Structure 1
Amino acid sequence: MSQPLMVSATIPGPSPAMASRWQYLDNVRRHTGPFTDPDMFDTSEAAVAQIEKMKILVIGAGGLGCEILKNLALSGFKQIHVIDMDTIDVSNLNRQFLFRQSDVGKSKAECAAKFVEKRVKGVSITPHNCKIQDKDEDFYMQFTLVICGLDSIEARRWINSTLVDLVDEENQDSLKPLIDGGTEGFKGQSRVIYPTITSCIECQLDMHAPRAAVPLCTLATIPRQPEHCIEWAHIMAWEQEKPFPKLDNDDPEHITWLYKKALARAQEFNIPGVTYSLTQGVVKNIIPAIASTNAIIAASCCNEAFKIATNTNPSLGAQENYMMYSGNDSIYTYTFKHEKKDDCPVCGNLARGLDVDPNLTLQEFIDSLAARPEAQLKKPSIRAQKTLYMQSPESLRLQTAPNLDKKIGDLVSNGDEIGVTDPSLGRVDFKYKLRFTSDFVSKDKLTTNGDAN
C-alpha cells in the first residue's frame, strides 16, 4: 500500500494529502513515454510548473463545459476563465452535473466556477456571464489555449475567425490553439486548430450541414409533426401577431408564448408531443445530448490541452487534427487530417469560384448563399467595386435596398470578385469570383452597342 508523501514541518509546502493528490499526474509530467518527443519534453521544475501559470479559456458551461472545467482543474491547470451567457434551466440538471436545483435561474458560468473552486483547492476560475462577442481582442490575447464546448455553429465560427485575426507572424504568443468539441446523441468529435497553420472551423463547415428546412406550405396547411406546429408558431404566428418587439430565444416569456401557440395548433390537427422543452429545443436548435458522450468528448479535448501544455505526448494538430467518435453501433473512433483550404474565407488567400445565373436578382442571390453548405450565412452584406447591399447600419440598408430587385448581371460583370460579410464571420469575409452560367447582356450594354452600331 502506497504511503502519502511526507513533508518536513520546518519547510513550507503542500500538505501530504495535497502532495499525494497530484502524485500520479506528476508521474506523467516528469517521465517520458513511448511517444514522447525528447527534443520537446522538459522535466525541469520550471517546465512542470508551467501548466499552473497558463491561462485557459473555456467557452460554454453546459454539458461539455461542465466536464471540461472539472477535467482541467484535475489535470493541473490553475488559471481558468469560463464564458457563457446562459442561465440554468431544470432540463440542464440531468447532464450538467455542476448545477443543483437551487441554481435554476442563475448564471451557468458563475455557478460552475464556484462549484469547481470549492471542490479543487488552489484552482482559480473566473466567470464571464456574457456573449463571446462582447469581449475584445485584448481579452482573448491573454490566454494560452481556448477550448470550446459549444452547441452553436455561429459562435464557433465567430471565435475561429477572431483567433485567426489575432495571429501576428512577428509575435509567437498571438497564436492561440483552439480545441473544439461537439456532441449529438451518441456521436461526437474533437479537433485541434492552430489558426492560419491548420484547417480551421470555416474550412470544415461543410461537415456541419444546416438543418433541413420545412416547406412553408406544410407549416401553413398540413402539419404532420409537433415540430411543424412549433415552426409555424415560430415563423408565421410570431410574424403575424408580433407579441414582443423582437424574439429572444433565451427569454422564458417568449418561449412560453410560442409553446402555447404551437400547442393550440397541434390540438387543432390532433398532433401529440408539443411540450415546452421541445419548443425550446426547436426554436434554439438544441441538439439532443447524452451525459456519457459529453464525458468522452470533453475528456478528449482536455487530454489534447494537457498534451499541448506539457509535450508529454503528440497532440492532434499538424498531421491528424480531427477525431470522430460514434457510439451508435458499438464504439467507433477515427482520426484523420482535415486539409486546409486555400480558398477558405477565414484562413485562406484565394477567392472561391462561384457559378451564378446573372438573371437572378440580388435578393435571390443572397437567398442562395444562405443555403450553401460552405456559407450558411444569415444576414449577408455584399460588396464588389462598390457596395451592393448592406444589412446595417439602417441608413446604408435603406440606401442599398433598391439593388435587391436588380439582376446580378446589371450590378457586376462576369469574372468580378465580390466580398460577402456576415455577423457570424466576425471581421472577415467570403471572397467569390463570379462565373456567369449563361450569356448575359445588360440593358446598359444593349444601349451602348446600339449607339456604336
Structure 2
Amino acid sequence: MEVDSSPLTAFPSTIDEASRWKQLEHIRHTPGPYTDPDAISPEAMAQFDNMKVLVIGAGGLGCEILKNLALSKFQDIHVIDMDTIDISNLNRQFLFRQSDVGKFKAEVAANFVMRRVRGVKITAHNCKIQDKDDDFYKQFQMVVCGLDSIEARRWINAKLVALAEEGDGPDSIKPMIDGGTEGFKGQARVIVPGITSCFECQLDMHAPRAAIPLCTLAAIPRQPEHCIEWAHIIAWDEEKPFPQLDKDDPEHITWLYQRALERASEFNIPGVTYSLTQGVVKNIIPAIASTNAIIAAACCNEAFKLATSAAPALGMEDNYMMYSGNDSIYTYTYSHERKDDCPVCNSGSRPLEVDQDMLLGDLVESFAVRPEAQLKKPSLRVQGKTLYMQSPASLEQQTRPNLDKTLRDLAIEEGQALVVTDPAFALEFNYFFKFKAA
C-alpha cells in the first residue's frame, strides 16, 4: 500500500464530537470513591476549561503528550521546542511527514493536532526554554515535560521552584509532570515545587555518561563513537572552528561529523553518520515508539487528575512511577523523598570528601562526573577567594594558575564552605570540604 506523505491540510469531518467526549465527560461528572467532592462543582468544571498547560518538547514524547492532552479536552496548550524535524524522526514522531523535514517541530505538531481535534488551541514557541522570562512561565497552571536532556530538566525544575518560593499563594506553585524514556524503560513523576522532591533531589538516579579514556580517542579508536568523541573533544579544541560549541547548531554538528568521518576513514572504522554524531554529542538515547506512548499516557493521566481532581494524582506518598518493558510489562510506584542538601529546593551544603593534596584542576574536572553535580563548566570560590572562574576570559586567565596547585597550597581548610556555579544553571551548589585521613 502506498502511503501518502503529503502535508495534511484537512481531515474529513466524520467524527461525532459528542461521542468523542462522552466517556471523558462521564468521568468528570460522575464522582468515584476517591474523587474530591468539589471536583464536580460548576466552578471546578469552569476552572478545567480555562486551564493553560505548557508542554516542553515536541519530539517522541512531546508528540504523544500533545495528542493525549488535546484528546483529554485541555483547550489551551502551549508547546516549546527549538529543534527542527529530521528525517530520522519520522519513524516514531507520528505528527510529522516527510514534507515537514526542516520545519520547526513545535509549529508542525501544533498545527497537526489543531486540525485533527476541534476546539483545542495550541500555541507554538520555536525557541529555547531559557529564552522565556518569568512572566511567560507564570501564566501556566502546570508544565508537562517530554525532554531528552537532563540539563533542560534541571533548568526548568529550578525555574519552577524559584517561582514557587518567590510567589505569594498557591497560584505560584506550578506542578511539573516529567516523563522520560530509555529504550524499553521509562518513568513518569509529579514534582510539586516546595512540597515533593524536585528533579535535583533525584539527579543521582541519572548517572553521568562514562568517559572514554583520552588515550583511546587519541591513539587507538575502535568504534565510530570514539571517532566522534575525538572530533568533539580533541579536534574541536585544537581547531576551534567556532567560538563556542552549540550542540543544537546544524553547522557545528556537520563540522564534527565531517572530522569524525575523516578520522574513521583513517582507521577503517565504518558507521559514522550525521545522526550518530548528533546522538553522541548530545547524549541522545535511542527511543522506542511504544515506550513513548506508554510514558506519555502516564504523564497525561497525571495531568488530567491534577486538573480535575477526579482521582488522586502522584504526590507526597507516591510521586515516581517506573516502567520496564524489557522482558514483560512491569510498573512500580514509590515515593522519592526530598534531600536535605538539595541545592534547589533546600539550602543545605553537601560534604565534599577530597584529598588535601588533590590538584584544583582535578577537583574542577570531578564535578562533571559527580552524580549529584554533573556540571560542564564549574567555577569555584570560597569565602574571600576565587579559586577558578570559567568566564569571562580575563578571570579565567587570571585564575588558571590555581589549577596546578593543591588544595593545601591554596590554604583550603577542613570544613571551609565551597560555592560552585555553572553558566547552565541559575543557582549555586554549596559544599564544605571534608579531607580524607592521611
TM-score (structure 1 length as normaliser): 0.89
The yes-or-no answer on 1:22 pairing with 2:21 is: yes
Instruction: State the secondary structure of the residue aligned to 1:200.
Output: coil
Picking from 299, 318, 321, the partner of 1:320 is 318
Alignment of 1:131-210 (within 5 A): 131-168=128-165, 170-210=168-208
Give the aligned partner of residue 402 of structure 2: 403
**Structure 1's 395 and 267: CA in aligned 2 closer, same or farther, altered over 3 A?**
closer
Give me the whole-angstrom Cα distance separating, in 2, the residues matched to 1:222 and 1:404: 29
Question: What amino acid is aligned across from residue 253 of structure 1 in structure 2?
Answer: E
Matches of 1:379 and 1:47 in 2, distance apart?
A: 46
Aligned residue type for 1:27: H
Q: Confirm or deny that 1:345 pairs with 2:343.
A: yes
Give the corresponding residue for 1:121: 118
- SS of the residue corresponding to residue 368 of structure 2 reads helix
1:304 aligns with 2:302: yes
CA distance in 2, matches of 1:415, 1:246: 36
Q: Deviation at 1:249?
A: 2.4
**Residue 419 (str. 1) matches residue 416 (str. 2):** no
Residue 76 (structure 1) aligned to one of 58, 73, 92:
73
CA deviations 1:30-63 (Å, max 9, x no partner) are 111233243xx42123312321211111110110
For residues 434 and 45 of structure 1, the distance between their equivalents in structure 2, rounded to whole angstroms, comes to 57
Tell me whether 1:65 sits opposite 2:62 in the alignment.
yes
From the superposition, tell whether residues 413 and 335 of structure 1 become closer, same or farther in structure 2 (CA, over 3 Å).
same
**1:237 matched to which residue of 2?**
235
1:157–1:424: 8 Å Cα contact kept in structure 2? no
Equivalence map 1:265-280=2 (5 Å): 265-280=263-278
Structure 1 match to 2:53: 56
Which residue is equivalent to 1:437? 436
Counterpart Cα distance in 1 of 2:341 and 2:379:
19
Which stretch of structure 1 is more off in the superposition, 128-137 or 168-177?
168-177
1:103 maps to a residue whose letter is D
Deviation by residue 1:264-290 (Cα, 9 ceiling, x = unmatched): 322332322222221221122111001
Q: Distance in 2 between matches of 1:77 and 1:299?
A: 14
Q: Which amino acid aligns with 2:320?
A: Y
- Per-residue CA deviations over 1:82-115 (Å, capped at 9, x if unaligned) read 1111111111111111111111111111111111
CA deviation after TM superposition for structure 1 residue 359, in Å? 1.6
Letter in 2 for 1:21: R
Between structure 1 and structure 2, the one with the greater Rg is 1
- Flag structure 2 segments of 5+ consecutive residues without an equivalent: 1-13
Query: 4+ residue runs of structure 1 moved beyond 6 angstroms?
Result: none
Name the CA distance, whole Å, in 2 between partners of 1:230 and 1:211: 15
CA distance 1:52–1:103, change in 2 (3 Å): same
How big is the alpha-carbon RMSD for the aligned residues of Structure 1 and Structure 2?
1.9
User: How far is the alpha carbon of 1:411 from its aligned partner?
Assistant: 4.1
Write the letter of the residue equivalent to 2:100. Answer: D
SS in 1 for 2:383: coil
**Secondary structure of the residue that 2:88 maps to in structure 1?**
helix
Report the equivalent of 1:12. Answer: none
**What percentage of aligned pairs have identical amino acids?**
70
- Amino acid corresponding to residue 71 of structure 1 in structure 2: N
Letter in 2 for 1:384: V
Work out which of the residue numbers 93, 96, 101 in structure 2 matches 1:99.
96
Measure the CA separation in 2 of the matches of 1:222 and 1:257. 22
Q: Structure 1 residue 419: deviation in Å?
A: 1.3
Q: How many residues align?
A: 422
Q: Secondary structure at the match of 2:226?
A: helix
1:280-313 Cα offsets, whole Å, 9 max, x none, are 2112211100111101000100000000000111
Instruction: Give the distance between the partners of 1:238 and 1:424, measured in 2 at CA.
Output: 20
Question: What residue identity is the alignment partner of 2:34?
Answer: F
The residue that corresponds to 2:44 in the other structure is 47
Deviations 1:364-395 (A, max 9, x none): 21112222111101111212212332222334
* Change over 3 Å in CA distance of 1:374–1:396 after alignment to 2: same
**CA drift at 1:152:** 0.4
| TM superposition score normalised by structure 2 | 0.92
**Alignment correspondent of 1:451:** none
- Preserved CA contact (<8 Å) 1:110 1:127: yes
Distance 1:246 1:420, change over 3 A: closer
